[in-house]
Structure 1
Amino acid sequence: MSFLVVCPTSAIAEGGMGLFKAGKKSVLLVWPRGGEIKAFRGRCPHADVPLDEACFDGETVLCPVHNWRFDAANGACVTHAAQKALHAYPLRVVGDAIEVDLGPARPARNPAIGSAPPA
């Protein structure tokens, strides 16, 4: 696992939410009331839109595009039960930093076979 620092612990409070950048990816951090901080991909799995305008009531994340709600404790869609959940990332708190593991880095792309070199 390769954890990246997303933000200081002071950047989010219980019952709060924040969207942060980690490398080239956006990470949605939510802290459900009475629960633990969770990290999810910062895009709605339904429409693949950024969740930068999402709302959080302390229990569910509301995507503003089609009003789908996701349970902040596990990312499950609560308005359309058969739909995809928010993609969760492993999270840990180290000292005063919140870190997430975004998964393996993608290898560099190889040019297509038979393509001409750049001019």
Structure 2
Amino acid sequence: MPERELNLDVDVVVRDDRTAVLVVEGELDMETADLLGAHLTEQLRQGRRRLVLDLSALDFMDSSGLNVLIRAVQKARDVGGDLYLAAPTPAVRRILEITGVTMTAPPHAGVAEALAAAGDER
């Protein structure tokens, strides 16, 4: 049986010693959630406490993806940082709103706004 190609790309842009932007593209589901989780964990391990997730190219997210985001928010806050959501697509925004995630991690209009919010923490 051929291995299924993962339909998720995560590009990491390190802004400074404490901040990284992760551009998430494709589908965040049961088969790809661990990939994003690994990227987020690695950034925290590297000392980056302010993590911005650019969701503008995320076409789909299920409960597995949602769980990764919720755990990442908690992990970042446990070490004195935070996770900032930027530019979710309408479908992803709806899931975030329905599940109440927007109450604890409100989405920003774009990456620039999320970075500005992250900078306000200092």
TM-score by length of 1: 0.32
* Larger relative strand fraction: 1
The structure whose Rg is larger is: 1
Q: Which has the higher contact order (CA 8 A, sep 6+)?
A: 1
* Larger relative helix fraction: 2
